[in-house]
């Protein structure tokens, strides 16, 4: 078995919708549960382009990237393999609809998130909630 050369770059989007809601997708494949829209960066693709593409594929929403939030690199964040996820905050309008490997896409208030939330996305959403409340980002070295 050939081992990967290193961690795989991924992106995730915290998509804000009007009414203080964020978009999550219910995964069609393992690990099953709810997640932020996102996925693997393709060769020749920028992080920003990958984020917009993955969001469109999984939610059918055209997003506007607002800012790069944080990069999560804990080797245990994805049981399938070591990934590095750059998370973006984005805005969109409209009703999310599941597509690609997302069985469903829905908007949730931050205080009414579904379960289970897979990968490290519950931690990402907690960091985001804290950022919105206090303006403080996750500290480096706490990943």
| Per-residue confidence band for 138, with pLDDT thresholds at 50, 70 and 90 | confident
CATH class in words for 16-69+83-134: alpha beta
**pLDDT by residue (tens digit) across 26-60?**
999 999 999 999 999 999 999 999 999 999 999 99
Compute the residue count for the chain: 143
- How distant is the alpha carbon of residue 33 from its chain centre? 13
For the segment 95-106, the average pLDDT, to the nearest whole number, is 94
DSSP label at 141?
T
The pLDDT of residue 143: 60
The two tokens of residue 115 are 């379960």
89 bridge partner residues: 14, 67
Backbone phi and psi for residue 10, each to the nearest 5 degrees, phi listed first: -135, 170
DSSP H or E segment with residue 86: strand 83-91
Out of 45, 48, 57, 104, pick the active-site residue. Answer: 104
The two tokens of residue 128 are 């985001």
| Per-residue confidence band for 140, with pLDDT thresholds at 50, 70 and 90 | confident
Annotated active-site residue 16? The verdict is no
The pLDDT of residue 139: 82
Where are the chain's structural domains? 16-69+83-134
| Per-residue confidence band for 4, with pLDDT thresholds at 50, 70 and 90 | low
16 bridge partner residues: 22, 91
């Amino acid at each position: 078995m050939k081992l990967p050369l290193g961690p795989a770059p991924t992106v995730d989007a915290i998509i804000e919708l009007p009414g203080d809601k964020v978009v999550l997708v219910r995964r069609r494949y393992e690990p099953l549960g709810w997640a932020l829209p996102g996925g693997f960066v393709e060769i020749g693709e920028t992080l920003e382009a990958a984020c917009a593409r993955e969001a469109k594929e999984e939610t059918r929403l055209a997003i506007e990237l607002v800012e790069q939030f944080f990069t999560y690199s804990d080797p245990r964040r994805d049981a399938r393999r070591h990934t590095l996820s750059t998370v973006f905050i984005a805005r969109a309008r409209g009703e999310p609809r599941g597509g690609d490997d997302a069985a469903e896409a829905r908007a949730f208030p931050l205080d009414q998130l579904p379960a289970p939330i897979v990968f490290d996305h519950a931690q990402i959403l907690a960091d985001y909630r804290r950022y919105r409340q206090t303006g403080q980002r996750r500290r480096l070295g706490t990943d």
